[in-house]
């Protein structure tokens, strides 16, 4: 890869208008291993102009042409699979097993799923004598985060291509390498010039310029709720569609008819995946009060059995968190849990034993957490689990919903009917019953301050389409 200091605009690798660079840090070593260029409004203007021009023709392509393009992208992605996985290990600190089997794999999953969706998606139908047509919304600005980087890129780019939109992508500046490789994938696949453009940069320099740009018709953003608010405000003056997938504080409800030890152990592992850096991580575990002791013991054993260490080790489950900033925030939240009186079951502040370098966090479990504590209310984005207890089913439903977030909820029960009943009462965009296998065609997105709109599969495609009614299209 030789394009770290360039942007991909109008089918070419170009230098920034104003040179400005930033170190990219390996979180496992705390050392810079490369540099990228940071863009400006002038770079965004160039990319948007290219996308606007390309939209004129790309929006008129046929389903067959876009299917062929997506298949070529998939083939080019598979040819660079190892490079993408290795980049994610280097820039994010994702353990090699996670990077290869989950992080890079989900990119293939979204491409494959979107090809399947596009094959049968109904872009038009008749409603009496009126034609209802779904057409590409236009130029899309995409702002993606660092935690599951290729996932968030492909779950935006794939439906945009399928819809006939053109786009400008700003990936996270602290985990940008996989996005640069993805731009090389798009070039190798023969994506027409201007359809896909990449401008690296930070939020103030590039994100704001994209959000405010009058020639961008839609912003699709994944990241923190705080940043989402700023983007929505910046986009308001141009009345563009703002599609957001934001933070979460997901509840994991264990009912009294479930195998508590098994459900707790699986919940701990799920919570700590990707070093706890997942917006839908099940970070609030609710257990029946009578099983408090069993749950705490099972959580301690599960957390202490997880291997933390160098991302290059295939046996490692938890690598470092992404940055010193995130490390410090997580340490402060762990200390807040201790100060507010929660019971520290295992873990705590500081690095794990034997790890003196890198942004490693001790896998941490708190018990006796109350709903008013910060660790129960704020998104920590690290390997920290809070265990809360409840007495009745009605109480746990109320406690689970008592959050400003609404991205996901988890329900574990020996009775599918009980779990189904609770799922209907969860104020969240997703509910997962009994730790199911993932579904890339299920709608992904949140209620409340977890965002608006949906991604993945047919639901993601719908977000990139405008609806047109042609009245009198057919004779009455």
> Could you tell me where the beta strands, DSSP code E, fall in 15-91?
21-26, 31-37
- DSSP assigned state of 435: S
Catalytic residue among 271, 279, 379, 463: 279
Q: Do residues 453 and 140 make contact, with C-beta atoms less than 8 angstroms apart?
A: no
Element (DSSP H or E) covering residue 125? strand 124-127
d(CA 129, CA 82): 52
Tokens of 192: 């027409």
The residue assigned the tokens 């047509």 is 133
Q: Do residues 100 and 87 make contact, with C-beta atoms less than 8 angstroms apart?
A: no
Count Cα atoms within 13 angstroms, Cβ side, for 457: 9
The per-residue b/e assignment along 275-305, b for 16 or more CB within 10 angstroms, e otherwise, is: bbbbbbbbbbbbbbeebbeebbebbbebbee
Q: Do residues 139 and 167 make contact, with C-beta atoms less than 8 angstroms apart?
A: yes
Active site residue 395: no
Give just the sign of the alpha carbon dihedral 450, 455, 456, 462. Answer: positive
- DSSP assigned state of 387: E
> Could you tell me where the beta strands, DSSP code E, fall in 155-259?
166-170, 196-198, 218-222, 241-245, 251-254
Catalytic residue among 91, 245, 455, 463: 245
Do the strands 465-470 and 364-367 form a parallel or antiparallel pair, or are they unpaired? unpaired
3-class DSSP state of 108: helix
Tokens of 314: 């295939």
Q: Do residues 134 and 106 make contact, with C-beta atoms less than 8 angstroms apart?
A: no
- DSSP assigned state of 274: G
> Could you tell me where the beta strands, DSSP code E, fall in 276-317?
284-288
- Provide the β-strand partners of residue 468: 133
Q: Do residues 366 and 345 make contact, with C-beta atoms less than 8 angstroms apart?
A: yes
Task: Identify which of 51, 33, 41, 53 has the alpha carbon closest to the alpha carbon of residue 17.
Answer: 41
Tokens of 240: 């563009």
d(CA 158, CA 297): 44
Active site residue 184: no
d(CA 420, CA 404): 23
Positions marked active-site: 245, 279
């Amino acid at each position: 890869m030789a394009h770290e200091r360039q942007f991909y605009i109008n089918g070419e690798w170009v230098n920034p208008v104003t040179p400005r660079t930033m170190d990219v840090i390996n979180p496992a070593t705390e050392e810079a291993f490369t540099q990228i260029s940071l863009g400006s409004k002038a770079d965004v203007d160039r990319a948007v102009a290219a996308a606007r021009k390309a939209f004129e023709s790309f929006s008129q392509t046929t389903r067959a042409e876009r299917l062929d393009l997506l298949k070529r992208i998939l083939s080019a992605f598979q040819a660079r699979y190892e490079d993408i996985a290795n980049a994610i290990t280097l820039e994010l600190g994702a353990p090699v097993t996670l990077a290869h089997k989950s992080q890079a794999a989900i990119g293939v999953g979204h491409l494959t799923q979107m090809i399947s969706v596009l094959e049968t998606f109904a872009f038009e139908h008749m409603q009496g004598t009126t034609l209802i047509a779904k057409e590409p919304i236009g130029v899309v600005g995409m702002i993606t985060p660092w935690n599951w980087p290729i996932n968030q890129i492909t779950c935006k780019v794939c439906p945009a291509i399928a819809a006939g939109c053109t786009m400008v992508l700003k990936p996270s500046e602290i985990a940008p390498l996989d996005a640069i490789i993805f731009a090389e994938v798009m070039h190798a696949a023969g994506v027409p010039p201007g359809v896909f453009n990449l401008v690296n940069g930070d939020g103030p320099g590039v994100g704001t310029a994209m959000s405010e740009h009058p020639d961008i018709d839609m912003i699709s953003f994944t990241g923190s709720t705080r940043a989402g608010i700023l983007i929505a405000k910046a986009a308001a003056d141009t009345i563009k569609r703002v599609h957001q997938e934001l933070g979460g504080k997901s509840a994991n409800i264990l009912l009294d008819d479930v195998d508590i030890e098994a459900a707790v152990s699986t919940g701990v592992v799920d919570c700590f995946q990707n070093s706890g850096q997942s917006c839908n991580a099940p970070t609030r575990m609710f257990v029946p009060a009578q099983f408090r002791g069993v749950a705490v013991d099972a959580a301690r054993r599960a957390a202490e059995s997880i291997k933390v260490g160098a991302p290059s080790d295939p046996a490692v489950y938890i690598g470092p968190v992404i940055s010193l900033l995130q490390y410090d925030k997580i340490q402060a939240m762990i200390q807040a849990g201790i100060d507010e009186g929660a019971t520290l079951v295992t873990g705590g502040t500081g690095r794990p034993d034997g790890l003196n370098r890198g942004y490693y966090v001790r896998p941490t479990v708190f018990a006796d957490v109350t709903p008013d504590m910060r660790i129960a209310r704020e998104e920590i984005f690290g390997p920290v689990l809070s265990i809360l207890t409840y007495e009745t089913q009605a109480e746990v439903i109320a406690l689970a919903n008592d959050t400003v977030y609404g991205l996901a909820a988890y329900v574990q029960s020996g009775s599918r009917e009980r779990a189904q009943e609770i799922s209907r009462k969860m104020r969240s965009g997703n509910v997962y019953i009994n730790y199911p296998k993932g579904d890339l065609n299920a709608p992904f997105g949140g209620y409340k301050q977890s965002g608006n709109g949906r991604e993945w599969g047919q639901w993601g495609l719908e977000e990139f389409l405008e609806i047109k009614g042609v009245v009198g299209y057919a004779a009455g």
